[in-house]
Structure 1
Amino acid sequence: MPFDQDKLIDRISARPPTEGWLYFRRFLKHPARLASLTPSSQALSRAVAQQVRRGKDEYVVELGCGTGAITRALLAAGVPPERLIAVDVDAELLAVLREEFADITVLECDAAKLTKHLPPAIVGKVGTVICGIPISLLPRPQQRALIDEMFALMPPGRRFLAYTHRQTSPLPRRELGLAGERLARTLRNLPPASVWGYAPRNKA
């Protein structure tokens, strides 16, 4: 019997609207957007949060926030809710965030055009950008646009974080002019995942 994705989605939709089921249903609808069957584990979320750097008056921006697994870890690690900006294009997932985290800024928009949706005073005042978007699946021009946008949010020389299920760097560092390194890895995620940090490559 052939696989019927629409019937499976309908069956999942009929179950209680828990975070896991919602995430899985949205994955089936938009697999390239989420790139994983399940939300990030607590182990991966903590690994990401531990790599965040920000000054007292700086913000943290999370791209591709989903249902908030990383968001919770950022708040638990001490990022003030008024300094946290969560971004996604999926209105259904963002509804979960808005209900649970009333004090953070939640934006439904294209991450590659985020500076147009933020007050000018915030642009350049972001300590760390976290990329939860499966950036390795994007065409090269879209990767370039998203990377440029992330660096535009931060002071010069800062790095953005990207978590991935790939064994190697999810981005071609030389081609994109990046200096990057694996900062953390956890097997306690399905599938195992790594956290990478990327900064502009020194041209000197």
Structure 2
Amino acid sequence: TDSVYDAKGKLMFINSPNNPNGKSFGNATILKLCGSFPGIVVVDEAYADFSNQTCLPLLKKVKNLIVNRSFSKSFSLASLRMGFALADADIIKEMNRVKLPYNTNYIGQIAALSCIKHSNKVFERNKKIIEERQRLTEELNKFEGVNVLPSDANFIFVKFEDKSKTLKFVWDLKEMKILVRHFSKPGLYNYIRVTIGSEEDNNKFLNGFQKIADKYL
């Protein structure tokens, strides 16, 4: 809502693409927030490698923006807790003054450097994930009462128009040894989040979804 542009504080955190719906915020929105917010705007782009959207170019336009990137998602180093931040030199200087010593481990550093060295292979795999995301979106949207939200992440957010059908799909998929994420919070109850896997995994999911849909939809 427009009220966010009136927010006050020292730090504002934004996930883009967002979890769990996979939505990205446009650069015009981020730029407007940087102009209206009196503190520092931190944009977490953990899933940005699966998107064509990034606010990195805005770092040349504003001084109060930090962009966080992670090796946990597209580079599959979640357990090593590696990432980095990009910002104006003055902000980075202040961050270095207060960061903990030995804040990363040696194995994580070696793994992250190797990922950077071989990033072309990772980005090629990401292209396949994006293609599979589009395929799953198109196939699931063919089912009556099912709507997939546009996603810029390595997952899709699937909405069931009939809330009572949601858990039936969750539990029946689990019986097939297919796990999806269900959210019990108000406003999210009739959604499931589905991670994009390999083509084989995605076909297994679609086949299972079809069998359940034949019973309930």
TM-score normalised over the length of structure 1: 0.29
Q: Report which of the two structures shows the higher radius of gyration computed on alpha carbons.
A: 2
Higher relative contact order (CA 8 A, sep 6+): 1
When you count helix as a share of all residues, which structure comes out higher?
A: 2
